[in-house]
């Protein structure tokens, strides 16, 4: 199969090469997925897991990319819950070869069915940001219907996902960011928007949850928020 590999951390993305690699085999509990769309995060080339295995041994050349959407082509021994020909999307293990390839072997538990009316590109694009937003809002933040949430960076990738999920769950969403992000944040479901450069964050008053992907002073200076 064709795949993009990296071998030299210092070279960054300029060191990535398109090469031929053997197709992956499905190990116990794995499936092999033919990849129709994949996502790559630039930061991956700084993650130790891109370069070594779990005991620190060099694992290059490694295939980056961890988000995927595609079709199951093989099942490993003991794999349950998925079938050959099924459309799936999900995230692959940081320590294994990833998704910038025609095929990937991935544990079945890391995948979910992709509905027929959702494009592969949409499926691959929402995995990491969607999971980040979901975990922050619902697993850590325990957000539920009727509550209010302040979403910092609401026009960004994670913030826009958090705004949509929070609205869907019945929460009241106040987005923040720079002036240029106002309309985007409102379009993604924020009911109010605070321009952090010009508006007073303390005017928001009390909210039930603050979801912050900006961090530092920008999101808190002058804030009288109680959450
Ligand atoms: N994307 C993912 O899947 C993912 C997953 C896990 C963790 N993360 C982490 O989450 C953070 C956000 O990632 P992202 O992908 O959502 O980034 P992003 O798309 O750039 O979104 C960040 C948003 O916050 C705004 N912003 C940043 N600094 C600001 C400031 N000082 N004042 C006002 N607004 C500000 C940005 O506005 P401008 O565009 O105008 O700067 C943008 O709208 C990063 O630390 C990233 O590493 C991301």
Q: What are the sequence ranges of the domains in the chain?
A: 2-122, 141-220
Which protein residue has the closest C-alpha to ligand 1 atom 46?
A: 213
141-220 adopts what CATH topology?
Rossmann fold (3.40.50)
| Residue with CA closest to ligand 1 atom 30 | 218
Cα dihedral sign for 185, 186, 192, 195?
positive
**CB of 78 closer than 8 Å to CB of 29:** yes
Minimum CA distance residue for ligand 1 atom 43: 156
What residues of the chain score a pLDDT lower than 50? 222, 226
User: How confident is the model at residue 209, as a pLDDT?
Assistant: 96
Residue 107 CA to ligand 1 centre (angstroms): 29
Ligand 1 centroid to residue 65 C-alpha, Å: 20
At residue 222, the pLDDT reads: 45
Residue 181 neighbours by CB distance under 10 Å: 22
pLDDT value, residue 226: 47
Distance 158 CA to ligand 1 centre (A): 7
> Would you give the DSSP letter of residue 99?
S
Choose the residue to mutate in 136, 156, 185, 216 for probing ligand 1, maximizing ligand atoms within 8 Å of C-beta.
Answer: 156
What's the CA-to-centroid distance between 153 and ligand 1, angstroms?
6
How, if at all, do strands 111-113 and 148-151 pair?
unpaired
Provide residues with CB under 6 Å of ligand 1. 128-129, 132, 153, 155-159, 177-178, 180-181, 196, 213-214, 218
Using the mean position of ligand 1's atoms as its centre, give its distance from the Cα of residue 224 in Å: 22
Architecture category of domain 2-122 in CATH: Alpha-Beta Complex (3.90)
User: Distance of CA 168 to CAs 96, 97, 134, 190, 191, Å?
Assistant: 34, 34, 12, 11, 13
pLDDT of residue 11: 95
d(CA 215, ligand 1 centre) in Å: 10
């Amino acid at each position: 199969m064709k795949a993009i590999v990296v071998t030299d951390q210092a070279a960054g993305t300029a060191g990535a090469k398109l090469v031929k690699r053997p197709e992956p085999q499905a190990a116990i509990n794995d499936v092999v997925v033919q990849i129709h769309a994949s996502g790559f995060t630039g930061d991956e080339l700084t993650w130790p897991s891109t370069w070594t295995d779990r005991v620190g041994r060099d694992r290059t050349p490694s295939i980056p990319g961890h988000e995927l959407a595609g079709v199951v082509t093989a099942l490993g021994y003991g794999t349950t819950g998925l079938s050959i020909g099924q459309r799936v999307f999900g995230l692959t293990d940081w320590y294994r070869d990833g998704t910038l390839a025609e095929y990937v072997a991935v544990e079945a538990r890391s995948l979910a069915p992709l509905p027929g009316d959702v494009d592969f590109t949409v499926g691959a694009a929402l995995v990491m940001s969607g999971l980040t937003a979901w975990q922050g809002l619902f697993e850590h933040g325990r957000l539920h219907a009727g509550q209010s949430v302040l979403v910092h960076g609401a026009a960004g990738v994670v913030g826009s996902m958090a705004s949509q999920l929070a609205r869907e769950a019945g929460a009241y969403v106040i987005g923040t960011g720079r002036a240029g992000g106002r309309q985007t944040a409102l379009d993604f479901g924020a009911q109010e928007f605070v321009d952090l450069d010009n508006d007073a964050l303390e005017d928001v008053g009390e909210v039930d949850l603050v979801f912050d992907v900006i961090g530092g002073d920008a999101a808190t200076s002058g804030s009288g928020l109680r959450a």
